[in-house]
Structure formats: C-alpha cells, structure tokens
Amino acid sequence: MSDFIAQFVGVGHQYKKGAEIFKGATFNIEPGSFHFLTGPSGSGKSSLLKMLYLGLKPTWGSIRLFGEDPLTMKPSLLPLLRQQVGVVFQEFKLLDHLKVIDNVSLPLRVRGIEAKRSYRDARELLNWVGLGDSLQAYPATLSGGQQQRVAIARAVITRPQLLLADEPTGNVDDDMAIKLLHLFEELNKMGTAIVIATHNQRLLERSPYPHLTIRRGTIIRTPKRSKP
C-alpha cells in the first residue's frame, strides 16, 4: 500500500477530436490534504478531476489511486476504488427521477447500507446545507444553487477518503460559498483529502490551502501560505 491517495506521473490526455490537455502532469495527493485546483477556463481542471475519479483514462503517463493501478486492475474491483472517492460534478449529474432525499442517500444504498440509516444520514446532511424543506422535491424543481448543494451532500455523505469538487461554488452566493467551504473543512478535519477546482477569487484569497495550478500542460504546486 502506498502512502499517497493519488500519484500522477507524466500524465497526459488527448481528446479524440480536441486538444492535448496535459503534456505531463506530475503530482501527489496525500491523505488528509486540502488543495485548490486552479487554472484558466479550458485549461483542463475538469479533465484532471475526471482522471482522478476514473471517468477518463490518461493517454499517457501512469496513475496510482490508493496504491492501485486502475488501468491494469480487474474491472470488477474498480467500484471499490470509486467508493473511496466522492465527487461533486461540475454539471451536478443528479438523477432527475429521484427525489432529493433519494439522490443524496443513493451512495449509501449502493454500498449496501440499510435504507433507514441512509435516509437518516441524508436528512441530517440536507438540513445542514439548508435544504431541509426540499427532501421530497425533485431536482428539476430546484434552483441551480440548491441543486449544487444536493450534489455536494451526495458527494460527502459517505465520508470518502478523497473528495473531488468541480467548481462547487459556481452557482451560490458568497455567503453560501463560505458555508460550503466550512463543510469541506469539517470533512477534511475528519481525514478526507480534498481537491476543489475553482476560480472563485474570494474563496482562493481567504483560504490558506496550497494550489495546484495548471500551466502550459503541467501542474505547478504553490505551497500552503499562512492565513491573512
């Protein structure tokens, strides 16, 4: 078992009909760490996260996740890796035919946790993100900001080892953004490693966490700085 949650060495991806995203991205994610992933729009933040949650295969380079090589491991074991990772997708990917409470409890159900406990946890979490009144609503009836919070609740409910969030504050006002950042910090205190892709300047300025910045096809790591 490796000491890193994720290790990327010289990773790159080439979309079939598009640009080459990375030339060689090399970085590590340590257990319990907290990173912001930054870079201009179109620089490949979402693509990088996709490779981290095994939604996209690197065209070259090597990846290790929890010490395993996902490219060579048995496909039937991939769900076990994915179950350690929580993801807030940029476009949410909520299931429209399920109520908010069913969406949020889904990751627990998928892991075989009994319904009663799943619903209790989901209700608690939704109350915390201010959606206690919308448990029985369908996602399509909610605002963008509300949907984003549902997506966040679904990603954190399993207390994953690694949480990936793609622009998780893109649709909420600054106060809610700060509140959601607190949620991520709480989770981080309990041991979850966190990577947040964002270009929310206020969020970046008020937090001391190190940055992974995408620049010219590589990843540059800016170390932790002291809180202002």
Partner 1 sequence: MNNSQDLPLKNDIAARFLPLIIGLMVYVGTLCFVFTLFILSATHLWENQLRTQITLEVPASPGASSAPLQAQVLQVLSKTPGIQQASAVPKKEVETLLQSLLGTTLPVDLQFLPVLIEVSLNGREPIDIPMLEARLKIISPQIQLIDHRPWQVQVSSLINASVVLASTLTFLVLLTALVTTTFATRTSLLIHRQVVEVLHLIGATNEYIAKQFQVHALKQGLIASAIGAAFAFLTFIGIAALLEKAGLPSTSLSSFSIQAFCVFALSPFVTGGFMMLSARLTVMRGLRP
- Judged by beta carbon distances under 5 to 8 A according to partner kind, the member of Mg ion, ligand ADP, partner 1, none in contact with residue 53 is partner 1
Binding residue for ligand ADP (CB under 6 A) from 15, 23, 57, 186?
Answer: 15
- Judged by beta carbon distances under 5 to 8 A according to partner kind, the member of partner 1, ligand ADP, Mg ion, none in contact with residue 95 is partner 1
CA–CA dist 122, 132 (Å, integer)? 10
**Nearer to partner 1 (CB atom), residue 89 or residue 209:** 89
End-to-end CA distance of the chain: 37
Cβ atoms of 25 and 8 within 8 Å: the answer is yes
Binding residue for Mg ion (CB under 5 A) from 46, 103, 118, 207?
Answer: 46
- Tally DSSP H helices, then E strands, for the chain: 7, 9
Q: Using the rule CB under 8 A, is 115 a contact of partner 1?
A: yes
Binding track, positions 46-75, relative to ligand ADP; x by CB under 6 A: xx----------------------------
Cβ atoms of 219 and 26 within 8 Å: the answer is yes
Residue 210, SS3 per DSSP: coil
Cβ atoms of 167 and 90 within 8 Å: the answer is yes
Q: CB 170 → Mg ion: shortest distance, Å?
A: 9
Q: Using the rule CB under 5 A, is 158 a contact of Mg ion?
A: no
| Residue with the CB atom nearest Mg ion in the bound state | 46
What is the DSSP secondary-structure string of 146-204? HHHHHHHHHHHTT--SEEEEESTTTTS-HHHHHHHHHHHHHHHHTT-EEEEE---HHHH
Q: Using the rule CB under 6 A, is 198 a contact of ligand ADP?
A: no
- Judged by beta carbon distances under 5 to 8 A according to partner kind, the member of partner 1, Mg ion, ligand ADP, none in contact with residue 220 is none
Helix (H) or strand (E) holding 109: helix 100-110
| Site stretch for partner 1 (CB under 8 A), options 34-42, 78-86, 128-136, 170-178 | 78-86
Q: CB 95 → ligand ADP: shortest distance, Å?
A: 21
Q: Using the rule CB under 8 A, is 142 a contact of partner 1?
A: no
Pairing of strands 6-12, 60-65: antiparallel
Find residue 135's DSSP bridge partners: none
**Residue count at the site for ligand ADP (CB under 6 A)?**
13
Q: For residues 48-77, which are near partner 1 according to CB under 8 A?
A: 53, 55, 75-76
| Site stretch for ligand ADP (CB under 6 A), options 18-26, 28-36, 74-82, 117-125 | 18-26
Cα 208–Cα 150–Cα 135 angle in degrees, nearest 5? 140
Q: Which residues bind ligand ADP (CB under 6 A)?
A: 15, 17-19, 21, 39, 41-47
